Amino acid sequence: MPCMRWILGAFCLSALFVAPGCSSDEAQSCASARDCPSGTTCVSNRCTAYDGADGGPQGQDSGVGRDAQPPLTMTGLALEPPSVELIARDGDRPSADFRIVARYSDGSTRNLPGGNFSVTPYALGSIDTVGHFVADGRFGGQGEIEVEAEGHSATASIRIRLETVVFGEGVTADVLPRFAIPAIDDPIREATLLYPLDGTVMPQNVYPADVQWQTSTPGDLYRVSIEKPNATLIGYVAADAGFRNGWLADEFGWRRLAQSDPESAAAIRVDRLEAASGELIRGKPVQMRFARAALTGSVYYWDIGAGRIIRIDDGTNNRQAFMPSPPLGCVGCHSVSSSGRYMAGRFGGGENIASVFDLTKDLTSDPPPLEFPTSESMRWWFSSWSPDDTRLVVSLTEGAPSTAGLALVDPKTGTYVSPVEGALPTGLATHPAWAPDGSEIAYVGNLDVWGGANTTGDIRALEVLGPDRIGASRLLVAGDQIPGAVPAGRAASYPSYSPDSRWLAFAHGTSSRSETGESALYFLRRDGTGLVRLDNASGGPNGVTSFQPRFSPFEQDGYYWLSFLSRRDYGNPIAGTAGTGRQQIWVAAIKTNPQPGEDPSTVPYWLPGQSTASLNISAYWAPRPCREGGASCAVGAECCSQVCNADTSGAICTDPPSGGCAQFGEACTGDGDCCVGLPCGGGVCGGF
C-alpha cells in the first residue's frame, strides 16, 4: 500500500500528466461550477472531473479504511441567476434560463441537470424541468421561481414589466423624439384630466376607459400614460379636425394593466405637446385602482327617451336593444330576477299593464313572447323578485291611495297570491326590494305621492316568515329624521340589499324624481343602525345628483358593487356629457366591512357602453356564473380557476397547476386550498 501511494503521488507530480482530481497549475481555475466545462465541477477553485459515483469529485474514495474520505453530501441548492427582470413589449413573451447549482459538504458545487420548478404567481409565466422560463406576456409583477431537487430547494426572484405603446390615427413613431424634451408645469395650458375620476376603483374586466380631458388646439400632440410599477400603457394622439379631447384606451394594453400589480394604483396623466410653442406641458396625474373582481353577466337599464330596456354584456361597450318591439310600444319600471333569467316590466308609457319575459328566449319578434298574457288586472308600478324566482312583490295603484299597497304575484301564471299568514301593507307603498337571503322585503312608506316623484318617504322592512308568510313591518329610517342630511329633504327612496343581505343602500333628498330632484346615497345595517352618507359615491359631501342605488349580485375583493344614476358630468362636452345634466349610470365599489362611521364607498366609474345622448336609469345586473375551463375570457377574475390563458383559439379559462396550494387571488373552496396564512373568501384565496 505505501508503494501504491507513492506511485499515485508520482503521477500527480508528473509534468506530463495530471490525473483528474489532482491539483495542478494547468487545471482550469474557477469560482463556481458554472466556470467549469461539462463533466467537471469546482473544488478548491480548480475545475475537477466528476465521476458521479458518490456525489463527490473523482478520486475521493468513499470506501472504508485508513485513507478513506468521508462521503460527500449535498448541503443545499442555489438558482443562478438569483434574480431576473424581463420586459414584455407589446405582447411579446420574453424568456430566461435558470441553472440549479448544488452545494456539497466539502465546499464544492456543480450544476444539476434539472428539477421540479414552479412559478409564483403562476400567471407570470411557465417554466420547464430544465429551468427555461417563458413569460405569459399579459401579467406584470414580481414573483418567485422555486426549484426542488434531491430533497433540497432554492428560489430566485423574477420581475416582469409590461410595456404597450399605441399610436393614434395619423401619428407615427416619428413623434417620440419630440416628447423627449423636458416637460414644464403650467396649470393654465395643461391638459386637465376629467375622466377617469381621481380615486375610482374598477373591476378588472371593465371595458377600457375613454380617457377625457379639456384644453386643446389643432395641431397639438398628446401622450396619455397609464402606469403601474410593472405595467405601462402609453398612447400618442393628435388633435385633428374631429378631435374629441379624449382617447379610448387600447383594449389589449388595458387588460394587461388591469391584471398586473393588483395591489398598486395606476397613475393616469396626459402630457400636451403644444403646437404653437413646441413646449411639452406636464399633466397632473390622477390615481385609480383595479380590484381583483370581475362583474360578469349583463346590465339591463332603461333608456327613457326610447322607451326600451337596453342590455350591455360584461366586458364590452356594446348596447343591445334586445327587445326592439315591446308590448304597447314601450317597456319600463323593470326588474330582473336573482338568477338573471326573468325580467318583469310594465308597458305602454303609463298604462302600467305588466308581464314577465324569459331573457333566455329570443325577444326580437313583434310582439315578443310573454310568460303570461297581458291583462287589465295585472297592473303594477315597481317590482322585486324573490331569491328563488317564484314570487314577485309589486306596488299597486300608486296613483290611487285607497286601493294602493304591496302585493305578491306568481310570475309563472300572472296571478295575485294572497299571503297564507300576515298581510302586506296597504295605502301608498313603493320601491319594494326583496333581500337576497329571502328573509325581508324593504320598501318605502309614508309617501305623499307615487314613487316616481315622492317628496316624503321612510325606509321600512317586512319580515318574511316563509313561503307567502309575512311578518311585522318595522321602521328603519324616517325620511325627515336624518341629522345633517345634504340635501335637506324628507324623501327616502329605492332601498337595495347588499348581496349578503347585511346592509341596505338607499337614496335620500328632496324628491325621488331624478330629472329634477336633489338626492344623495346612504348606507346602513339591515337593523337600521350605522347610517352613513356615501360621500365618495355621491360626488363629495355636497353632491346632490345621485339616485336609485342598486347592488349588483357580486361581492369580490372585499367590495360590493353598487350601480346608481346621476346627473353629474361625465368627461368633457364632446366625448362625454359635461354641461348637459343627462342622467347616466355609474358604479361604485363599496367596502364589505367598513369601520364604524366610515364612508365605505369609493369614487365611481361610468358604466361603459351607454349612450351619452340618452337619459339612462334603473340598472339591474343579471349575474353570470364563473366560467369553467375552456370558456372564453378576458381576465382571470372571470374564470373559476382565476386563470385566463392564451390558446390557439383565443383566450380561455384554464385550470391552475395540479398540486400545491392556491396563491392570493386564486380559486378556492375552503381555507385548506390556500397557502398558509390566506383565508378563502368569496371563492378566492385572500378574499373577504
- Give the tens place of pLDDT for each residue, 252-304: 999 999 999 999 999 999 999 999 999 999 999 999 999 999 998 999 999 99
The more confident residue out of 120 and 653 is 120
Give percent above pLDDT 70 in the chain: 86
What is the rounded CA–CA span in Å between residue 213 and residue 44?
66
- Confidence band, pLDDT 50/70/90 cuts, at residue 635: confident
Based on the fold, state whether residues 4 and 39 are members of the same structural domain.
yes
The residues, any chain, with a CB within 8 Å of residue 526's CB and separated by 6 or more, are 435, 440, 461, 476, 497, 501, 502, 503, 504
What is the rounded CA–CA span in Å between residue 221 and residue 177?
12
Residue identified by cell 345586473 is: 621
- Confidence band, pLDDT 50/70/90 cuts, at residue 624: confident
Output phi, psi for 13, to 5 deg: -85, -10
Based on the fold, state whether residues 63 and 190 are members of the same structural domain.
no
CA 483 to chain centre: 35
Does residue 628 fall inside a structural domain?
no
Q: What rounded mean pLDDT belongs to the chain? A: 89
Reduced DSSP (H G I as helix, E B as strand, rest coil) percent helix, strand, coil of the chain, to 5: 5, 40, 50
pTM for this entry: 0.83
DSSP 197: P
The more confident residue out of 358 and 63 is 358
The more confident residue out of 129 and 659 is 129
- Give the tens place of pLDDT for each residue, 236-249: 999 988 899 999 99
The residues, any chain, with a CB within 8 Å of residue 192's CB and separated by 6 or more, are 213, 214, 215, 283, 284
The pLDDT of residue 61 is 42
H/E element, 76 = strand 74-80
Based on the fold, state whether residues 527 and 585 are members of the same structural domain.
yes
- Confidence band, pLDDT 50/70/90 cuts, at residue 628: confident
Based on the fold, state whether residues 425 and 526 are members of the same structural domain.
yes
Based on the fold, state whether residues 502 and 603 are members of the same structural domain.
yes
The pLDDT of residue 122 is 87
What is the rounded CA–CA span in Å between residue 263 and residue 320?
34
Based on the fold, state whether residues 352 and 494 are members of the same structural domain.
yes
Does residue 199 fall inside a structural domain?
yes
What is the rounded CA–CA span in Å between residue 70 and residue 51?
16
Based on the fold, state whether residues 85 and 138 are members of the same structural domain.
yes
Residue identified by cell 507513492 is: 6
Owning domain of residue 2:
1-68
Chosen domain end from 263, 291, 319: 291
Q: Are strands 200-203 and 286-291 parallel, antiparallel or unpaired?
A: parallel
Q: Is 292 helix (H, G, I), strand (E, B) or coil?
A: coil
Q: Take residue 482 and report the three cell numbers written for it.
A: 336624518
The pLDDT of residue 23 is 35
Least confident span in 240-244, 319-323, 340-344:
240-244
Chosen domain end from 161, 191, 216: 161
DSSP-assigned states of every residue in 11-61: HHH-SS---TT---TTSPB-SSGGGSPTTEEEETTEEEEB--SSSSBTT--
Does residue 629 fall inside a structural domain?
no
Does residue 627 fall inside a structural domain?
no
Based on the fold, state whether residues 329 and 449 are members of the same structural domain.
yes
Does residue 279 fall inside a structural domain?
yes
Does residue 631 fall inside a structural domain?
no
Chosen domain end from 50, 68, 86: 68
Does residue 630 fall inside a structural domain?
no
Q: Kindly tell me if the per-residue pLDDT of 668 is higher than 80.
A: no
Based on the fold, state whether residues 578 and 650 are members of the same structural domain.
no
Q: Could you give the strand order of the β-sheet that contains 605-606, starting from the edge strand earlier in sequence?
A: 546-556, 559-566, 584-591, 605-606
Q: Is 394 helix (H, G, I), strand (E, B) or coil?
A: strand
Does residue 542 fall inside a structural domain?
yes
Based on the fold, state whether residues 340 and 461 are members of the same structural domain.
yes
- Give the tens place of pLDDT for each residue, 541-578: 999 999 999 999 999 999 999 999 999 999 999 999 99
Nearest C-alpha neighbor of 340 from the set 365, 358, 318: 358
Give buried/exposed letters for 485-516 (b at 16+ CB in 10 A, else e). Answer: bbbebbbbbbbbbbbebbbbbbbbbbbbbbee
The domain tally of the chain equals 5
Based on the fold, state whether residues 363 and 448 are members of the same structural domain.
yes
The pLDDT of residue 612 is 97
Least confident span in 48-62, 184-198, 624-638:
48-62
Contact in structure between 652 and 645 (CB atoms under 8 Å): yes
What is the rounded CA–CA span in Å between residue 505 and residue 523?
4
Based on the fold, state whether residues 275 and 303 are members of the same structural domain.
no
DSSP 522: E
Contact in structure between 651 and 633 (CB atoms under 8 Å): yes
Q: What is the CATH number of the domain that holds 575?
A: 2.120.10.30
Contact in structure between 475 and 460 (CB atoms under 8 Å): yes
Q: Which residues pair with 78 in a beta bridge?
A: 101
Residue identified by cell 314577465 is: 356
R_g (Cα) of the chain, nearest Å: 33
Give the mean pLDDT of 523-548. Answer: 98
Contact in structure between 76 and 100 (CB atoms under 8 Å): no
- Confidence band, pLDDT 50/70/90 cuts, at residue 644: confident
